[in-house]
Amino acid sequence: MNDGGWDRRSVLRGAAVLAGAAATVPLLGEAATALADSADADALFKAGKFEQAGRAYEEILRKDPKNLHAARRRGYVALLANRFAVAEKYLKMALQLAPDDKDANHFLADCYIRQDEFGLSVPHWKAAGEDSYAKWFAAVRGEAYQVHGQTARVPWKQTDPMPLVEVSLNGGPTKRFSFYTGAPNLGMRASVAKEAGLSPVASQKIDFEGGSIWAHYGMLDSFKLGGIELRNIPVGWSATESGGDVDTDSDGLIGTWVFYHLLTTFDYAGRQLILRRRTPETAGKAHAAATRAGAEPLPLWLAREQYLHSTGSFAGVAGSRTGVVGVNFGGGSEIAAGMRGETAEQLGIRTDYDRQVGTFAQSHPAVVYPCYPKEIRLGNAVAKEVYSYTNPNQPVNVPWPYGTGFDTMGWFSHCFWKPYNITVDFTDMNLYIARGVAA
């Protein structure tokens, strides 16, 4: 069972509190950028030195054009930064060397759906063994994710335990949806899908929290959030064996795929979503407003179709460490951050092992422990001695296809963001964090 696949297919609770990205090891020195054999390039990649790793893989391919691993990994590095032309170049090179390579097919399929080239993705999903995705995206007709409207300010009807916003499906009555960037597509309860008149184009039976449910996939004509309407959208919904709702915490869940079609500000301080068309003009205005508010552009990487990452730091009594971290917006969680056990142990982060917490990671049972880092930081955003989780059983690096394949220390979660507003730019692949309500 592919744990990463769990999150892609679960549309309501599948990406739970521990569905952040993986953890980190110390970063390599700059001298390592000159090294060009496979082991050195892989070390750079795992350490989150993606630009240097990309150059190292290119040097390998210059000397050995038939190196499948280097071609595949070079394409993946480009995909992390939404550099689609470069990603396609190297992933197609990998598939010329090995047409049935599942990983290269998966990366290229993801590359195509990020560009709304769903038809082109279909044969690659099949080759990657994702038959349900292949059937789903083969059913897309015409232009998907059509954006109507310019800007929307969507107030949150609640913030805890998870943010809820009001939406309308196919012009129907208002529904309350949560949102979470640890989940991929737009999803909803089975009863909501039925009310909206949806029929599945593909279905799959999957394990879920010790039982089984059905994951259904279809197309939604209209999804409206305030003054923004999206049309012709791939959606999913989950149902029990008898056809009932799996989860009733909300009517549905808005995932990363919706947000990367827009210029989105998660305004935690103002308790609202600000949604704008992705244009150079709107991006320029948003960047200028963030800069005036004291925000600096931070790198943004997108892995495994939905997981967002940036650069941050954790600190304990034994020191601090900076590296790649997961960034999760929305969802339901009482923690400010989560971290791998090795991170907490090596940094000397105070952990309360007498008070274990039972939760779910990728919808499977997990045991975590409260911990209190001296400081967690993302750009100018900082929290000290704040309630977090650590999971001693989570490795610092989960290899593909079960994880991202690179090291991260942990992830930043719902409670960390509350004093801030965060603008996520999927064109330039930056995020901006500013204190207070968004302008």
What is the three-state SS of 198-216? CCCCEEEEEEECCEEEEEE
| Residue at a domain's end among 250, 267, 284 | 267
**Same domain (yes/no): 108, 81:** yes
CATH number of the domain enclosing 197: 2.40.70.10
Whether 209 and 192 map to the same domain: the answer is yes
Q: Is the dihedral of CA 62, 64, 68, 69 positive or negative?
A: negative
CA–CA distance from 362 to each of 183, 208, 339 (Å)? 10, 9, 15
Which of 78, 106, 138 delimits the end of a domain?
138
At 302 the pLDDT is 98
Alpha carbon distance 339, 211 (integer Å): 28
Same domain for 262 and 162? yes
Whether residue 262 sits in one domain with residue 155: yes
Mean pLDDT of the chain: 90
259 against 9, higher pLDDT: 259
Flag whether 252 is in a domain. yes
| pTM over cut 0.85 | yes
Residue 76 domain flag: yes
Q: Are residues 168 and 107 in the same domain?
A: no
In the predicted structure, residue 427 carries a pLDDT above the cut 80:
yes
Q: Are residues 150 and 258 in the same domain?
A: yes
**Do residue 162 and residue 258 come from a single domain?**
yes
Poorest-confidence range of 200-209, 256-265, 368-377?
Answer: 200-209
Residue 123 and residue 104 share a domain: yes
Between strands 381-383 and 375-378, the pairing is antiparallel
**323 with 409: CB under 8 angstroms?**
yes
Statement to judge: residues 196 and 133 lie in one domain: no
pLDDT class of 222 with cuts at 50, 70, 90: very high
Identify the bridge partners of residue 431 per DSSP, sorted by sequence position: 298, 424
Return the CATH number at 105. Answer: 1.25.40.10
Mean pLDDT across 238-255: 92
Cis peptide before 161 (omega within 30 of 0): yes
Evaluate whether residue 425 is within a structural domain: no
How are the residues of the chain apportioned to helix, strand and coil, as percentages rounded to the nearest 5? 30, 35, 40
- In this structure, the answer to whether residues 39 and 60 fall within a common structural domain is yes
Residue 318 maps to a domain: no
Q: Whole domain around residue 201: which residue ranges? A: 146-267
Helix, strand or coil, per DSSP, at residue 244 = coil
Beta pairing partners, 432: 423
End-to-end CA distance of the chain: 45
Entry field: residues in the chain: 439
Q: Residue 164 has what DSSP assignment?
A: B
CA distance 437 to 439: 6
What mean pLDDT comes out for the span 406-415?
95
Confidence of residue 24 (pLDDT cuts 50, 70, 90): very low
Beta bridge partners of 309: 301, 326
Q: Is residue 43 part of a domain?
A: yes
Distant-in-sequence, close-in-space partners of 235: CB < 8 Å, separation ≥ 6 = 185, 186, 187, 188, 193, 198, 217, 218, 219, 220, 223
As to burial, measured by CB atoms within 10 angstroms (0-12 exposed, 13-18 middle, 19+ buried), residue 292 is exposed
| Domain membership flag for residue 191 | yes
Spatial separation of the C-alpha atoms in residues 434 and 290, rounded to whole Å? 6
User: Residue 260: its pLDDT value, please?
Assistant: 97
Tens digit of pLDDT for each residue in 349-384? 999 999 999 887 655 678 999 999 999 999 999 999
Count of the separate structural domains present in the chain: 2
Q: Is residue 156 part of a domain?
A: yes
Residue pair 186/223 in contact (Cβ under 8 Å)? The answer is yes
**Domain stop point among 267, 294, 327:** 267
DSSP result, 169-181 = ETT-S-EEEEEBT
Predicted confidence band of residue 209 (pLDDT cuts 50, 70, 90) = confident
Same domain, 44 and 150: no
In 221-353, alpha helices (H): 256-259, 280-292, 341-347
What residue type is assigned to position 250 of the chain? S
pLDDT, tens only, 42-63: 999 999 999 999 999 999 999 9
Residue 416 lies inside a defined structural domain of this protein: no
Partners of residue 313 on adjacent β-strands: 322, 377
Across the strands, what pairs with 272?
A: 155, 267
Sign of CA dihedral 24, 26, 29, 32: negative
Q: Are residues 180 and 122 part of one domain?
A: no
Between the CA of residue 238 and those of 19, 21, 166, 315, what are the distances in Å?
19, 24, 20, 40
